[in-house]
């Protein structure tokens, strides 16, 4: 039905409504109006579906891939004739029974701006379209981090924004969304010409990557940023991809493909069953006002350990919301009434803390140490109660950190508070479906709808969220790459990614195990796939910040890989890579590829190497450069068995480079058991 027909039908229904308003009782009018409104809704919905429309990835100022078939698709009424005109090409197609249509135009060289016109019963016209190279930029927060907006701010942010005048670079950010099954269209987004106004909120890594390509190639560059901070790689792999990999057979059986509605219903059922099992399905807060008081009877409250997140308790307490924790402390007569200092390590996320009913402090922020002064007169002889109201907005919750940071100090004497605490729930937060709750849900909503596009390739920065399952990443990363290549119908699609940078996640190292080092190793393994490349970034990380601000070098190194491997420009774009080890007496000699003009240390002495003997204990190595090799020794190791380089969460002290200025990739020569071995993904 066209718009005229809809208006005529609407007028008819309104006349019927007027008739009933003067001839029927109020009750009958309500009934008939219900059916009238229903009819209008059906007609409007049917008309909307039948209207000619393009996917949201199409828009004014977009970039289409040069030198590749130009695929254009959309929807209209069934059996409607659609004519597509672009530049000097024209093609006519007809929609199928479901209203879908698709046209493939011949490849064209870089150029523009051009006009795209799609005609059916109505007409859509898009202006300012360029033909150039189109890249998908995806991953988690280090890819999402903007140039200078909200939480993100790169080095020299103001200057970067002010100079971002590149009319031939076009930017598109896919709106975040979750879907249980693959959907036809993204939730939203729009193309913007790169300018100081548009670049500030765009992916910094994506922008610096695209800027380098544009400056080198002198062709238009289109960047599609599709990412979500804190997400697992499994959310970005298609369900079809999981079914193709025997390793994930158990996952496919445990997490069958289902709609978003089914996922939410299952989540709600599971949550209610869990709450019932831990007697939290009925929360009574009638006396919540008394919970901070010392005289309150908490004998029927449950117990947990602190400091320890409640999700890590045995059994785990997997809830979000507001929970009270109480701890009894006995004070002798000599200390009663004295001022004191209360330390509660850290609390995820926010707290208000009381001692004997008196508020002594409160803090917002999950990673802030809690240190509260208790005034004289608050503590009393005998039983004292510390009561903490903990607000957990999601993820981990509760008091956490080192046991030694949980104490009550009076006159220099410390009373430990680690151990059993009583707890009771004040309020539950029932979370919605999150991006890590089920496999494939980000692929379904944020990649599948754009995969009909011809693209030049993809760049990827993700892995932090998978560090706890690093060995499994050896399966997941190659699967993602091969899966996307199949989905985009480009078997050799270039895929370049960032190796995790330096960050002191958990003081991990060679001797106590490092999940981040193991994740980097898995990424190195993935770089053996054809048409891939890995940008090593251990030299630009920040030990205390998981989002380092130097995104310029990250983008440039990714672009360097693309320029060399995809565009055929002969230049050194990466650093030394471990090749072989030779043992000569008490020394180990390491051979490298990728040495360029030669090896060098950023400081006088080479650091970052370790040696172990048969006992598998690593010691810092004395290192010297000899041509294209590094010679290592350690007084504690008479016969070297294994060497590791930059094998730690924070490996920023590693300083081996080639003379072109690119860092050596972290490595190990052994295959001793990894810390994350056997840890598997469980949605």
DSSP letters spanning 533-548: EEE--GGG-BTTBSS-
Distance of CA 325 to the CA centre of its chain: 32
Mean pLDDT of 164-178: 98
CB 445 within 8 A of CB 177: yes
pLDDT at residue 267, rounded to an integer: 82
pTM (2 d.p.)? 0.82
Phi and psi torsions of 36, nearest 5°:
-65, -45
Tell me: the pLDDT tens digits for 114-146?
A: 999 999 999 999 999 999 999 999 999 999 999
Phi and psi torsions of 131, nearest 5°:
-100, 125
CB 62 within 8 A of CB 172: yes
| Domain limits, the chain | 3-50, 63-227, 288-429, 577-664
For residue 298, pLDDT beyond 50? yes
Tell me: the pLDDT tens digits for 211-261?
A: 999 999 999 999 999 999 999 999 999 999 999 999 999 999 999 999 999
Mean pLDDT of 93-97: 97
Q: How many CA atoms lie within 13 A of 137 on its CB side?
A: 31
Phi and psi torsions of 647, nearest 5°:
-100, 80
Q: Is the dihedral of CA 520, 525, 528, 531 positive or negative?
A: negative
Mean pLDDT of 48-56: 86
CB 233 within 8 A of CB 473: yes
State how far the alpha carbon of 119 is from the alpha carbons of 58, 123, 660, in Å.
15, 4, 54
CB 541 within 8 A of CB 464: no
CB 168 within 8 A of CB 63: no
Q: Which comes out higher in pLDDT, residue 368 or 28?
A: 368
pLDDT above 90 covers a percentage of the chain that reads: 85
The torsion defined by the Cα of 310, 316, 321 and 327, in degrees rounded to 10, comes to: -40
**Rounded to whole angstroms, how far apart are CA atoms 498 and 516?**
13
Q: Kindly state the tokens that stand for 342.
A: 């209360």
CB 549 within 8 A of CB 153: yes
Residues 6+ apart with CB under 8 A from 36: 13, 16, 17
The torsion defined by the Cα of 234, 239, 245 and 248, in degrees rounded to 10, comes to: 60
Q: CATH for 288-429?
A: 2.60.120.260
CA 636-638-642 angle, to 5 degrees, is 85
**Rounded to whole angstroms, how far apart are CA atoms 130 and 132?**
6
| Continuous segment of H or E residues that includes residue 15 | helix 3-23
For residue 12, pLDDT beyond 50? no
| Continuous segment of H or E residues that includes residue 93 | strand 89-94
For residue 18, pLDDT beyond 50? no
CB 361 within 8 A of CB 370: yes
Mean pLDDT of 650-661: 96
Three-state secondary structure call for residue 291: coil
- Region of poorest pLDDT, from 165-169, 317-321, 343-347, 402-406: 317-321
For residue 202, pLDDT beyond 90? yes
- Select from 274, 283, 278 the least CA-distant residue to 427: 283
pLDDT at residue 395, rounded to an integer: 78
Tell me: the pLDDT tens digits for 323-372?
A: 999 999 999 999 999 999 999 999 999 999 999 999 999 999 988 899 99
- Select from 307, 305, 292, 391 the least CA-distant residue to 346: 307
State how far the alpha carbon of 143 is from the alpha carbons of 137, 416, 464, 549, in Å.
7, 42, 12, 12
**Rounded to whole angstroms, how far apart are CA atoms 251 and 242?**
8
Cis amide linkage into residue 349, ω under 30° from 0? yes
Three-state secondary structure call for residue 301: coil
Phi and psi torsions of 467, nearest 5°:
-60, -35
The band of 49, judged by pLDDT with boundaries at 50, 70 and 90, is: low
**Rounded to whole angstroms, how far apart are CA atoms 28 and 24?**
6
Phi and psi torsions of 531, nearest 5°:
60, 35
pLDDT at residue 172, rounded to an integer: 98
**Rounded to whole angstroms, how far apart are CA atoms 267 and 252?**
17
Mean pLDDT of 178-184: 97
Bridge partners (DSSP) listed for residue 79: none
Task: Annotate 359-396 with b (16+ C-beta within 10 A) or e (fewer).
Answer: ebbbbeebeeebebebeeebbeeeebbbbbbbbbeeee
Q: Which residue has the tokens 């046209």?
A: 103
The band of 11, judged by pLDDT with boundaries at 50, 70 and 90, is: very low
Angle subtended by helix axes 552-565 and 204-217, to nearest 10: 40
The band of 281, judged by pLDDT with boundaries at 50, 70 and 90, is: confident
**Rounded to whole angstroms, how far apart are CA atoms 171 and 458?**
15
The DSSP output letter for 448 is G
**Rounded to whole angstroms, how far apart are CA atoms 654 and 284?**
56
State how far the alpha carbon of 127 is from the alpha carbons of 57, 75, 116, 144, 195, in Å.
14, 20, 7, 28, 18
Q: How many residues does the chain have?
A: 683
Distance of CA 465 to the CA centre of its chain: 7
Phi and psi torsions of 302, nearest 5°:
-80, 170
90 conformational bin, left if phi > 0, alpha if psi -120 to 50, beta if neither: beta
pLDDT above 70 covers a percentage of the chain that reads: 93
The band of 150, judged by pLDDT with boundaries at 50, 70 and 90, is: confident
- Select from 122, 49, 124 the least CA-distant residue to 81: 122
For residue 427, pLDDT beyond 70? yes
Mean pLDDT of 32-51: 50
Averaged confidence pLDDT in the chain: 92
For residue 43, pLDDT beyond 90? no
CB 314 within 8 A of CB 278: no
For residue 299, pLDDT beyond 80? yes
């Amino acid at each position: 039905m066209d718009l005229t027909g809809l208006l005529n039908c609407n007028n008819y229904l309104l006349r019927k409504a007027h008739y009933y308003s003067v001839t029927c009782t109020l009750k009958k009018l309500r009934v008939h109006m219900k059916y009238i409104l229903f009819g209008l809704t059906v007609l409007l919905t049917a008309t909307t579906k039948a209207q000619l429309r393009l996917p949201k990835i199409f828009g004014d100022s977009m970039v289409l891939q040069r030198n590749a078939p130009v695929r254009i698709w959309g929807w209209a009424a069934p059996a409607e004739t659609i004519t597509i005109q672009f530049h000097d090409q024209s093609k006519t197609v007809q929609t199928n029974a479901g209203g879908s249509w698709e046209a493939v135009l011949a490849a064209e060289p870089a150029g523009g701006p051009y006009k795209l016109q799609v005609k059916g019963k109505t007409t859509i016209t898009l202006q300012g379209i360029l033909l150039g190279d189109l890249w998908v930029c995806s991953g988690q927060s280090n890819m999402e981090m903007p140039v200078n907006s909200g939480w993100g701010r790169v080095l020299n942010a103001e200057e970067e924004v002010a100079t971002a005048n590149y009319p031939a670079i076009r930017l598109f950010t896919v709106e975040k969304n979750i879907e249980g099954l693959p959907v036809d269209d993204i939730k939203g987004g729009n193309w913007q010409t790169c300018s100081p106004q548009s670049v500030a909120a765009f992916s910094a890594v994506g922008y610096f990557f695209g800027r380098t390509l544009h400056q080198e190639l002198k062709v238009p560059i289109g960047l599609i940023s599709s990412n979500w901070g804190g997400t697992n790689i499994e959310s970005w792999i298609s369900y079809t991809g999981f079914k193709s990999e025997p390793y994930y057979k158990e996952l496919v059986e445990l997490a069958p493909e289902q709609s978003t509605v089914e996922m939410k219903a299952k989540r709600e059922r599971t949550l209610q069953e869990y709450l019932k099992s831990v007697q939290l399905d009925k929360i009574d807060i009638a006396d919540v006002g008394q919970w901070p008081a010392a005289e309150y009877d908490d004998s029927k409250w449950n117990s947990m350990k602190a400091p320890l997140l409640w999700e890590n308790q045995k059994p785990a307490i997997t809830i979000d919301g507001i929970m009270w924790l109480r701890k009894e402390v006995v004070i002798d007569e000599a200390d009663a009434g004295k001022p004191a200092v209360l330390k509660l390590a850290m609390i995820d996320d926010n707290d208000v803390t009381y001692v004997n009913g008196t508020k002594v402090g409160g803090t917002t922020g999950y990673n802030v140490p809690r240190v509260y002064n208790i005034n004289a007169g608050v503590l009393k002889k005998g039983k004292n109660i510390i009561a903490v109201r903990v607000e957990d907005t999601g993820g981990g919750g509760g008091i956490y950190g080192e046991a030694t940071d949980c104490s009550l100090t009076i006159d220099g004497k410390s009373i430990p508070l680690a151990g059993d605490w009583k707890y009771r729930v004040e309020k539950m937060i029932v979370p919605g479906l999150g991006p890590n709750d089920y496999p494939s849900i980000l692929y379904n909503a944020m990649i599948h709808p754009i995969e009909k596009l011809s693209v030049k390739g993809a760049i990827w920065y993700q892995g932090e969220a998978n560090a706890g399952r690093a060995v499994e990443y050896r399966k997941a990363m190659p699967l993602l790459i091969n899966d996307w290549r199949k989905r985009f119908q480009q078997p050799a699609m270039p895929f370049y990614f960032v190796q995790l940078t330096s960050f002191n996640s958990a003081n991990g190292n060679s001797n106590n195990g490092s999940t981040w080092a193991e994740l980097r190793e898995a990424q190195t393994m993935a770089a053996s796939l054809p048409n891939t490349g890995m940008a090593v970034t251990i030299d630009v990380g920040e030990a205390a910040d998981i989002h380092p601000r130097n995104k310029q070098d990250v983008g440039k190194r990714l672009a360097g890989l693309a320029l060399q491997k995809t565009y055929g420009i002969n230049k050194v774009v990466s650093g030394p890579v471990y090749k072989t080890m030779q043992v000569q007496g008490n020394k180990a000699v390491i051979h490298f590829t990728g040495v360029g003009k030669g090896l060098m240390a950023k400081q006088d002495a080479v650091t970052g190497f370790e040696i172990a003997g048969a006992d598998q204990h690593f010691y810092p190595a004395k290192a010297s450069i000899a041509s294209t090799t590094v010679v290592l020794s350690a007084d504690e190791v008479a016969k070297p068995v294994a060497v590791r380089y930059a094998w730690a969460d924070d490996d920023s002290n590693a300083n081996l480079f080639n003379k072109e200025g690119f860092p050596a990739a972290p490595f190990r020569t052994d295959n001793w058991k990894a810390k994350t071995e056997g840890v598997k993904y469980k949605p």
